[in-house]
Amino acid sequence: MATTREFHLPPPTRTMLPRPELLPSVLPTERLNAKGVARADLRSRYRAIPDVRNAVTVVSALLQTVGVVVAAGVVNRWWAYLIAFLVMGRGHCQLNILGHESAHRLLFSRKWWNDQVGRWLLGYPALQGTLSYRRAHMAHHRDEMGPEEPDAGLYAGYPIPPDSLRRKLTRDLFFVSGYKNLVALWRAATKSARSPGRTEARQVIAVQLVLFGAAVAWGRPLLYPLCWLGPWMSLWKVSNRLRAIAEHGGMARSDDRRLTTHHVRQRRLARFLIVPYNTGWHLAHHVDIAVPFRNLPAFHEELVRSGWVVPEIEYPSYWALWRKLASGERRERAARPAAVGSGSSFIPG
């Protein structure tokens, strides 16, 4: 009788988790509670939403993104389209990060303005299903890396071999990931009437058709696919993966957010290209998800002053963190594991 051989993966030789001795137990303090959230007398200061400044930020982001595409259409030369393609990799990052702020209802203090701006001016133009994203994203915050983690497939398994990360980024760069997202969007839009997300998927498609129709009406039909959709399907996908794994790649389920979220020193170039609007202070964001983006640096400094965040757990740059994320060893495996897709929304953002 034939025997069945079992194959087991060897335990990983490296980990992304900080060593326990680098995590001082200093909470609670006079200013922070046991979870690191500011006490009541300070909380309102850190959670204040500056409506006017945020409105200026939204207008500025729209001018930078829509403006660069319009400028390419005005010039109407191949090199202008190429510049717009490259710049819009960052442009979609801006729209999506501000959309994330709206998903947390931290963009404007009035719910109606927060949601309408977040959906119609930020989320839907950037192919992000805002309402669907909010539902799944809150599951991410309730229990990072837990059984209901919507982005488990994106974060799990790190560190991975360098060639594995290159393959992932190559699929992102050459439109493979973006194509899969568009298929998911279409499937969501064509489901039965009672299916969750169907209406919003159709709203996202409607906004894209308006953008494409505007380009056609202007006599610039290539403007939409080359300068708007193309960068979203390529450069933005690379940027999104690099940012996401720098936030949670290889981390673990824990009540201690220092074990669920990386912290990286914020430098100007990274903040300009992949982590705008203070989203790079991600550890502080996970400690208190009600702190708006403008207040995250100050709240992070509060965590540092308490002794809870120490220099030893800070990566000196995103490059240093990505190198460690890609420092895994090649391992043989008996069977291909079941793929775990992102559940952040029908369009991961």
For the stretch 302-330, pLDDT in tens is 999 999 999 999 999 999 999 999 999 87
Q: How much of the chain, in percent, has pLDDT values that exceed 70?
A: 91
Shortest CA distance to 300 belongs to which of 313, 281, 328, 286? 281
pLDDT surpassing 60 at residue 335: no
Average pLDDT over residues 127-139: 94
Quick one: pLDDT at residue 312?
97
CB 27 within 8 A of CB 308: yes
Give tens-digit pLDDT for 35-58.
Answer: 999 999 899 999 999 999 999 999
- In total, the chain counts a number of residues equal to 349
Average pLDDT over residues 235-244: 98
Residue 181 covered by a domain: yes
| Model pTM score | 0.90
Q: 85 pLDDT band (50/70/90 cuts)?
A: very high
Quick one: pLDDT at residue 12?
46
The residues facing 315 across adjacent strands are: 264
pLDDT surpassing 90 at residue 301: yes
Shortest CA distance to 21 belongs to which of 236, 263, 258, 306? 258
Quick one: pLDDT at residue 332?
54
Average pLDDT over residues 206-219: 98
pLDDT surpassing 90 at residue 333: no
State the total domains in the chain: 1
CB 119 within 8 A of CB 131: yes
Quick one: pLDDT at residue 338?
38
CB environment 116-139: b (16+ within 10 A), e (fewer): ebbbebbbbbbbbbbbbbbbbbeb
Q: 346 pLDDT band (50/70/90 cuts)?
A: very low
Quick one: pLDDT at residue 3?
39
CA-based end-to-end distance of the chain: 51
The domain of 163 spans 48-259+318-325
CB 257 within 8 A of CB 37: no
Residue 120 covered by a domain: yes
DSSP state of 315: E
Residue 341 covered by a domain: no
Question: How high does pLDDT run on average in the chain?
Answer: 92
CB 46 within 8 A of CB 295: yes
Average pLDDT over residues 76-89: 98
Residue 302 covered by a domain: no
Average pLDDT over residues 66-75: 98
Tell me how far apart the alpha carbons of residues 259 and 182 are, in angstroms, rounded to a whole number: 33
Residue 348 covered by a domain: no
DSSP state of 259: G
Residue 190 covered by a domain: yes
CA angle 179, 199, 98 (to 5 degrees): 65
Q: 331 pLDDT band (50/70/90 cuts)?
A: low
Residue 158 covered by a domain: yes
Average pLDDT over residues 145-171: 95
Residue 275, helix vs strand vs coil = coil
Residue 100 covered by a domain: yes
Average pLDDT over residues 281-300: 98
Looking up tokens 């109606």, which residue turns up? 112
